[in-house]
Chains A and B, each alone.
Chain A
């Protein structure tokens, strides 16, 4: 059982807005910031959002993150075919002497 819970899959048509939820605990998301990673097929993960809502240089502003309490979400506006990928939320978890935890990942399919 993952500390962070994400839906297995989300789908949308080009141009649509989709959101991915990430539900955590008081010791994880409730106490620390959330990071989102994008993993395109056959490639290494890439930093997408850090500090709950900050975008690194080069990440399109179609991607946005937010956090409230023990949950977070990633929104993709104006969905494009190249956004088809796996998306992982992550956070430090203060329990069990501390560990970095990833959500199980959400597969985004562009219909």
Chain B
């Protein structure tokens, strides 16, 4: 059974860089079938796709976050990471990681991690 677990700081100061890690168990991040993604949800709001990465390092980013975003993968430790620079209060959200099936005109996220709340405050 595939499980994903987010980890990282619960509080970040404005202008700092957020670093989160998603540890994958029950599947290899080197799997040729899947990408690995970050999604976030601001308090009381809907879901926002952040980006995803393939084990080769190929990335796809949300254009609205691209200038501040880096997603990387560590195949040796079976985890992938997110770095989001210049954090503001608008980045306060629950951050989820998820496995992604990416096909031609067809993709979906399953399973999801439990999520980790990141607050931005001085």
Residues of A within 8 A of B (CB): 2, 31-33, 35, 37, 43-47, 50-51, 56, 88, 90, 92, 96-105
Measured CB to CB, the closest approach of chain A to B93, in angstroms, equals 13
CB–CB B49/A101 < 8 A: yes
Determine the chain B residues whose CB is within 8 A of the CB of A99 once the complex forms. Answer: 49, 62-63
Nearest 5 Cβ contacts at the A-B interface: A47-B110, A100-B49, A50-B108, A102-B47, A44-B112
Q: Report the tally of A-B residue pairs with Cβ distances under 8 A.
A: 65
CA distance A109 to B62 in the complex (A): 32
CB–CB B107/A104 < 8 A: no
CB–CB B60/A103 < 8 A: no
Measured CB to CB, the closest approach of chain A to B10, in angstroms, equals 17
CB–CB A102/B46 < 8 A: yes
Determine the chain A residues whose CB is within 8 A of the CB of B63 once the complex forms. Answer: 96-97, 99
Determine the chain A residues whose CB is within 8 A of the CB of B37 once the complex forms. Answer: 100
A99-B49, A102-B47 given; A47·B105 CB < 8 A:
no
